[in-house]
Every structure is written in C-alpha cells, then in structure tokens.
Amino acid sequence: MTTPAEALAAAARTSLHAPSVFNTQPWRWRIAGDTMTLRADRSRALAATDPDGRLLLLSCGAALHHARVALAAAGHQAAVERLPEPGDPDLLARITFTGEKPADARAAGLVAAAAVRRTDRRAYGDRPVTEEQLTGLRRVVEAEGAYLHTVRPDQMPMLGISAELAGEAERLDPAYREELERWTARPAHTGDGVPPSTAVRPALRRVPVRDFVPDGQAGLDAGDGYDAGAAYVIVFGLSDRPADLLRAGEALSALLLTATADGLATAPLSDAVEVEWPRQLLRGLLAGIGEPYVAVRLGYPETAAPLPAAPRREPADVIEIVAR
C-alpha cells in the first residue's frame, strides 16, 4: 500500500521533467506526511532575462501541473491550494493527499509524454498542424485557467519582428550575455542549464530561435525545413498577477504534454516576452485583450533523429522529505 508521502514523492519526481526558462528548474518541494508544498527557488532566478519573475512563475506552474497529472495517473486524489499564504509569496502551492480514486488514463498518457518530451529547436517541415489539433490544445489550456491564441498568417511577420527585436536587445545587454553564459556552461553534476549539445546553429527561420551559444558551437543543425507547416500559439491571460502566471505555467505544461502525446514537436519561445517593447507588440497580436505569457512553436520535424536529453537535477537536491 502506497503511503501519502510516497505518492507525493513520486509526483514530485515526475515534476523534474517540467520545462523551465534556461532549464533553471527554479522550484523546491517539501513533503511532510500527507502534504507537499511547492516553493519558488529565487536563487535560480534570472535577474537580467526575467527581472520580474514572470517566467520563473510559469516554470513553477509547469512543475505543479506535472505533479498533479502524476497523482491522477496513479489513482491518487489530492486537494491543491495555490498561493495559500498571502504573507509568503514564494509558497506557490500546497498539495494535500486526500485518498484514492480510479486511475486517470488521460493523465497516464501525459505522464508518459513527460518522460520523452524535449524542446525541439530544430526546424519543422511542411506537414501542417491541423485545426483539430489546435482546437484540442486550446481546450486543455482553457481547462487550466489560461487562454490560447493561434497566430494567424497575417500576424506572422509581427511575431518574427518581435522575436528579432527582443533577440537583438538581449544580445546587446552585457548582463544578459553573462547570464546566458552562466546557464549554458554548467558543470554536468548540477543537472541544469542548456548545454550546447541541445542548442541549434543559427539558420533562416520564419521566427528567429534563440542562439544559446553565440560565441561557441551548437550541437545541432537546424535542418533543411523552414517551419512551413508549423503553428505558432501564444499562451495568455488577463493579468501579470502571480496567480495568473502560475496558472499559465500549468496551462503551458498541459499544452506541451498534450502536443507531445499527439506526436507533435514543441519549442517554447519566451524571447519576445522578455523585453518590454516586443512584449507590447505581442499584446497587439492579442488585440489588446490579454497579457502574453509565452509563445510556442508546434510542428513535425523533418528528421526522426533523436534529441539529446536536457539535464535534470537529482531528486535529493529538489525534494525534501520530513519524517513524521
């Protein structure tokens, strides 16, 4: 018989697969009996790239969603309180084990997708993402409390300009360059960051892709594709409040895992929301009705060559279990 603490620990280990900005994995779990708490780890914040902590909260929300689906897939029931202590803003969620229920087959599929999902920065081919697929992704995003905008063909130039302007501004910022270097040259034992082996060499793209190693050698070729069949979507909400950003991270996780389970490759594109002026251009793509949180490229790569796995931290470095 699985104890509540064991069930929560297994869910926390699944959350280690969650995506995060620069693969910083800026969260910590603490398990005591039948309760698990999620905290933001501000020591992993990106002062230059993410000064307001928007992407940190999105990253933590993705970890929360991974843990939630892991519990559901294993047939465990849990109550989730988001931002439960107003005086402790870094306490992002409290999960309380409440019993057993039938295992959720859909959640099991998402857990399986979590283990194989990769951010695929290579170019995608001509095979299009279907409207049916995009409708399904919109539904899972909305079920998590956020919204999804599909970038229309006439809006694509503005998305490309937004990403290019943001990339140029960041390239000219010494603080950003130093931060990029720090998170792309991590020792192997840290289990985090973006190693050059997972980066893609610059190539002509419909929307520019971040150059993670501008002074080095990326490990992957972009390929011959031109992203012709790719779809670009924007996860957005109504405000920049922490509660909305946390929910948006859960929605991003649901989108990425569902897309992976559906056979799509995915690549979050956070560049255009990291700099204020390009972020304002993205607000224009939303007709001014929402706050853009992150863009995502979806599609089918032209090559079936496997991607190297991104490093992950050891569970003992992220999960604290308190004996009772």
The count of domains in the chain is 2
140 shares a domain with 51: no
**For residue 204, what pLDDT is reported?**
87
**319-322 and 27-32 as β-strands: parallel, antiparallel, unpaired?**
parallel
170 shares a domain with 111: no
pLDDT at 323 over 80: no
281 shares a domain with 172: yes
pLDDT at 142 over 80: yes
- State the Cα–Cα distance between residues 71 and 69, nearest whole angstrom: 5
pLDDT at 9 over 90: yes
Region 25-35: what's the mean pLDDT? Answer: 98
229 shares a domain with 147: yes
Of the candidate ranges 176-180, 223-227, 254-258, 290-294, the one whose mean pLDDT is the lowest: 223-227
Average pLDDT, the chain: 96
**227 domain residue, yes or no:** yes
Alpha carbon distances (Å) from 169 to 22, 31, 48, 162, 207: 18, 42, 12, 11, 16
277 shares a domain with 196: yes
249 is written with which tokens? Answer: 């991270």
pLDDT at 302 over 90: no
The model's pLDDT over 113-140, given as tens digits with 9 standing for 90+, comes to: 999 999 999 999 999 999 999 999 999 9
**For residue 48, what pLDDT is reported?**
97
Domain coverage including residue 32 = 4-116+314-322
Share of the chain above pLDDT 90, in %: 92
294 shares a domain with 173: yes
**For residue 218, what pLDDT is reported?**
93
The model's pLDDT over 157-204, given as tens digits with 9 standing for 90+, comes to: 999 999 999 999 999 999 999 999 999 999 999 999 999 999 999 888
Of 88, 114, 96, the residue nearest 32 (C-alpha): 96
**123 domain residue, yes or no:** no
**167 domain residue, yes or no:** yes
Query: What CATH number did the domain enclosing 257 receive?
Result: 3.40.109.10
pLDDT at 324 over 90: no
Which string of DSSP letters, residue by residue, matches 154-197? GGHHHHHHHHHHHHHHHHT-HHHHHHHHHHHS--GGG--S--GG
**248 domain residue, yes or no:** yes
**268 domain residue, yes or no:** yes
Region 239-243: what's the mean pLDDT? Answer: 96
Region 270-297: what's the mean pLDDT? Answer: 95
**For residue 91, what pLDDT is reported?**
98
19 shares a domain with 150: no
Task: For the chain, state the CA radius of gyration.
Answer: 19
pLDDT at 1 over 80: no
Task: Taking each helix axis as running N to C, give the angle between helix 242-261 and helix 54-73, from 0 to 180 degrees, rounded to the nearest 10.
Answer: 50
What global pTM score does this model have?
A: 0.97
236 shares a domain with 143: yes
**306 domain residue, yes or no:** no
264 shares a domain with 163: yes
Give the three-state DSSP class for 279.
helix
**308 domain residue, yes or no:** no
Of 293, 239, 241, the residue nearest 270 (C-alpha): 293
Region 213-238: what's the mean pLDDT? Answer: 92
78 shares a domain with 154: no
The model's pLDDT over 77-109, given as tens digits with 9 standing for 90+, comes to: 999 999 999 999 999 999 999 999 999 999 999
pLDDT at 305 over 90: no
91 shares a domain with 143: no
**122 domain residue, yes or no:** no
- Confirm if 242 and 310 have CB atoms less than 8 A apart: no
203 shares a domain with 269: yes
